[in-house]
Chain A
Amino acid sequence: DGGITQSPKYLFRKEGQNVTLSCEQNLNHDAMYWYRQDPGQGLRLIYYSQIVNDFQKGDIAEGYSVSREKKESFPLTVTSAQKNPTAFYLCASSPTGYSGNTIYFGEGSWLTVV
Chain B
Amino acid sequence: AQSVTQLGSHVSVSEGALVLLRCNYSSSVPPYLFWYVQYPNQGLQLLLKYTSAATLVKGINGFEAEFKKSETSFHLTKPSAHMSDAAEYFCAVSDLGSASKIIFGSGTRLSIRP
> A10 to nearest B CB, angstroms?
10
* C-alpha spacing A94/B94, complex, angstroms: 13
**CB-based contact A90/B43 at 8 Å:** yes
Interface 0/1 of B16-57, CB less than 8 Å to A: 000000000000000010101000011111100101000000
Tell me the smallest distance from the CB of A4 to a CB of chain B, in Å: 8
Give the interface residue-count category, chain B. 20 to 34
Binds B, one of A11-19, A40-48, A63-71, A72-80: A40-48
Residues of chain B touching chain A, judged by Cβ–Cβ distance below 8 Å, are 9, 32, 34, 36, 41-46, 49, 51, 90, 94-102, 104-107
Interface residues of A (CB under 8 A from B): 4, 6, 31, 33, 40-43, 45, 48, 50, 56, 58, 90, 92, 94, 96-108, 110
